[in-house]
């Protein structure tokens, strides 16, 4: 009995996301070809043993993933679309773009993994992935692929892709930025940077574990949750202005999510947070 040929995918772009996707596809049993645009990316792809797509590969590829910056998706789609076979689908990984950025004369889709990828060696497994596609059969194919890669599919409204992507950015880059700001506060308080980073990463992980187990509202901790106005005022007075502004915005958001405070506590916290506080 003849074995079924492995499906072929082409990954265009070999940065962090392209590298991670190429590795995931290969682990799931796909043939993978990689087209890197920049010389440095092409060298990395060659070092990792990835083959460039041949003319025959372009004609037989089922999926062509566009792992390029958002601003280049439409242009690259037009360029590679002339080489891709008539049944090959173009799939971009730009979270904020709808599938309208792709040519209408062939199947097109968006496949955006919700994973913070900082290196091509990072795993995608376990993450959500936002999928939109035309025709519907392509969406079905990509949902099946998602499960092969260990991902679970999401379906944000196409007209609200920017809102969806903003939420994803807050949960990834936003968290990293907040942790970075917290490290700076500890360093200014006299803690060695390495110790501050180690301690606060563990603290952040414990906070996320609380959210995972109990949900965002029940996972909240800190002086705002306790109604401790004096401590919040001391924090505001101690922080430099840029960190103070960040602290105020996050604390006001926390206050909105905490229903159990007494009205007097809520008024006092609101007053202190909106006033800001001068550095002492």
Q: What is the pLDDT of residues 186-237, one digit of tens each?
A: 999 999 999 999 999 999 999 999 999 999 999 999 999 999 999 999 999 9
Q: How confident is the model at residue 280 (pLDDT cuts 50, 70, 90)?
A: very low
Cα(147)–Cα(252) distance, rounded to whole angstroms? 39
Cα(70)–Cα(72) distance, rounded to whole angstroms? 5
Of 15, 16, 14, residue with least CA distance to 119? 16
Cα(99)–Cα(79) distance, rounded to whole angstroms? 16
Q: Could you tell me the residue ranges of all domains in the chain? A: 8-155, 220-280
Q: pLDDT averaged over the chain? A: 92
Which residues are CB-contacts of 100 (< 8 A; sequence separation ≥ 6)?
Answer: 158
* DSSP E strands, the chain: 8-12, 31-35, 63-66, 89-92, 108-113, 128-134, 152-154
pTM for the complete prediction?
0.85
Cα(51)–Cα(21) distance, rounded to whole angstroms? 15
Q: How confident is the model at residue 45 (pLDDT cuts 50, 70, 90)?
A: confident
Which residues are CB-contacts of 22 (< 8 A; sequence separation ≥ 6)?
Answer: 11, 14, 32, 34, 50, 120
Cα(152)–Cα(124) distance, rounded to whole angstroms? 11
What mean pLDDT comes out for the span 86-109?
Answer: 94
Q: What is the pLDDT of residue 27?
A: 94
46 has a pLDDT exceeding 90: no
Tokens of 250: 């996050």
What mean pLDDT comes out for the span 145-151?
Answer: 96
Q: What is the pLDDT of residue 2?
A: 45
CATH, domain range 8-155: 3.40.50.720
**Residue 45: Cβ within 10 Å count:** 23
Cα(130)–Cα(111) distance, rounded to whole angstroms? 6
**Residue 253: Cβ within 10 Å count:** 11
- Range 220-237 burial, b when 16+ CB lie within 10 A, else e: beebbeebbbeebbebbe
Q: How confident is the model at residue 278 (pLDDT cuts 50, 70, 90)?
A: very low
Q: How confident is the model at residue 184 (pLDDT cuts 50, 70, 90)?
A: very high
């Amino acid at each position: 009995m003849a074995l079924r040929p492995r499906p072929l995918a082409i990954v265009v772009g070999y940065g962090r996301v392209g590298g991670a996707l190429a590795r995931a596809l290969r682990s799931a049993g796909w043939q993978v070809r990689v087209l890197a645009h920049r010389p440095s990316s092409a060298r990395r792809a060659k070092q990792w043993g990835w083959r460039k797509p041949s003319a025959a590969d372009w004609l037989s590829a089922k999926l062509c993933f566009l792992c390029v910056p958002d601003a280049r998706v439409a242009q690259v789609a037009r360029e590679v679309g002339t080489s891709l076979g008539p049944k090959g689908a173009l799939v971009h990984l730009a979270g904020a773009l709808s599938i309208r950025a792709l040519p209408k004369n062939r199947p097109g889709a968006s496949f955006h993994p919700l994973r913070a990828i900082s290196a091509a060696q990072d795993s995608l497994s376990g993450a959500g992935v936002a999928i939109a596609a035309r025709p519907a059969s392509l969406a079905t194919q990509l949902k099946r692929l998602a499960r092969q890669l260990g991902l679970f599919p999401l379906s944000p409204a196409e007209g609200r892709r920017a809102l969806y992507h903003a939420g994803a950015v807050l949960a990834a880059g936003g968290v990293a930025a907040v942790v970075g700001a917290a490290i700076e506060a500890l360093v200014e308080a006299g803690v060695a940077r390495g110790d501050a980073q180690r301690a606060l990463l563990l603290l952040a992980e414990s906070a996320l574990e609380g959210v995972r187990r109990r949900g965002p509202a029940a996972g909240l901790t800190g002086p705002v949750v306790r109604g401790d106005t004096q401590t919040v005022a001391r924090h505001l007075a101690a922080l430099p202005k840029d960190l103070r502004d960040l602290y105020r915005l996050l604390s006001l958001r926390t206050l909105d999510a905490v229903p159990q405070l007494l009205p007097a506590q809520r008024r006092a916290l609101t007053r202190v947070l909106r006033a800001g506080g001068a550095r002492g």
